[in-house]
Amino acid sequence: MSYQHLLYETDDRTALITLNRPDKMNALSLELCDEIERAVAAADADEDVRVVVVTGAGGKAFSSGYDLVGDEEVPSIDFYADRLRGDLRFTYCAWNCSKPVIAMIDGYCLAGGLEFAQMCDIRYCSDDARFAVIETRFSAGVATLAMPWVIGPISRELIYSGDMIDATAALRVGLVNRVFPKDALHAEVMKTAKRIARVSLTTLQWNKRAINETYEAMGFGTAMRSAMQACVIADSTQTPEYADFHRMKSERGLAAALKWRREQFAAYE
């Protein structure tokens, strides 16, 4: 199976999926999302694979989130409903994979990239990693609202503010399992993945299924669908902040719009 936007390799019972848009900070285009889904499915179907690791190329970002280039205003609730159902399906590919999925996070992990990482079973990061629900700062909802299930009540502050936190804070609140020096991240994560891969595939699959069904029994799936619907309403509502951001993006480009957005918060950081 060939891919244009990611790299896929297997070694010693472990599949490594690398998002390969480093010049775009591994932003999640529709094409990349589709390829990630296909790559995770391929690893799940491979009898020689027991653990899946997902990372981003370039060392600057795991992923900066969903690609905003060309994402122009479409004033239709049906458009957003269809788009966000696709986003939720994409992030669920890690959750639905029968095998453990590890997010190896190097650099920025933002917005949709953070949503996807939270649907993975384990998250490890480099010491220069940064995390944020940044989409709330330009009047967007959270398509996959897993954060309350991952870190609990502290998620309210991060979701409401869009604040960015570093690796130390992410470890403290439980957003990541472990932090490694940047130059040791790949080796340490792959060593851990291959150690997990020594466990029998049957045991790994049934343990993951039991854990996932524990969350489902607590209402995880219902909560995800409800949050996605709330995101549809949020994203299709033409707030003044949304209009200002998209007008700036249309007139002066995405970089200028992102700079403008940062300036709205700078005095209060």
pLDDT given at position 171: 98
pLDDT digits (tens, 9 = 90+) for 215-251: 999 999 999 999 999 999 998 888 888 888 878 888 8
Name the token pair of 179.
């932090």
Q: Is 211 left (phi over 0), alpha (psi -120 to 50) or beta?
A: alpha
DSSP letter string, 146-182 = -HHHHHGGGHHHHHHH--EEEHHHHHHHTSSSEEE-G
Which residues make Cβ contacts (< 8 Å) with residue 37, sequence separation at least 6? Answer: 89, 90, 93
Q: How far apart are CA 210 and CA 205, in angstroms?
A: 9
Q: What are phi and psi of 77, to 5 degrees?
A: -65, -30
31 given a catalytic annotation: no
Q: Does domain 6-202 have CATH number 3.90.226.10?
A: yes
Q: In the chain, what is the greatest distance between 2 CA atoms, to the nearest angstrom? A: 56
135 given a catalytic annotation: yes
Which position among 35, 135, 213, 269 bears the catalytic label? 135
pLDDT-based confidence at residue 253 (cuts at 50, 70, 90): confident
Run of H or E residues at 187: helix 185-196
pLDDT given at position 232: 93
The 10 Å CB-count burial string (b at 16+, else e) for 32-69 is bbebbbebbebbbeeeebbbbbbbbbbeebbbbbbbbe
More confident residue, 264 or 231: 231
pLDDT given at position 70: 55
pLDDT digits (tens, 9 = 90+) for 175-208: 999 999 999 999 999 999 999 999 999 999 999 9
Rounded to an integer, the average pLDDT of 96-125 is 98
- The answer to whether 245 touches 73, Cβ cutoff 8 Å, is no
Which position among 35, 72, 73, 115 bears the catalytic label? 115
pLDDT given at position 148: 98
pLDDT digits (tens, 9 = 90+) for 58-87: 999 999 999 976 555 556 788 889 999 999
Axis-axis angle for helices 77-96, 220-236 (nearest 10): 150
Q: How far apart are CA 95 and CA 116, in angstroms?
A: 9
pLDDT digits (tens, 9 = 90+) for 149-171: 999 999 999 999 999 999 999 99
Residue with tokens 């998209």: 246
Q: How far apart are CA 76 and CA 227, in angstroms?
A: 19
Report the alpha-carbon angle 110-94-155, nearest 5.
40
Name the token pair of 262.
């940062």
pLDDT given at position 235: 86
Give residue 30's identity as a one-letter amino acid code.
L
* Domain layout of the chain by residue ranges: 6-202
pLDDT given at position 71: 55
Neighbours of 19 (CB within 10 A): 27
Rounded to an integer, the average pLDDT of 21-26 is 97
Q: How far apart are CA 128 and CA 185, in angstroms?
A: 11
CA distances from 171 to 157, 166, 175 (A): 16, 9, 6
pTM over 0.85: yes
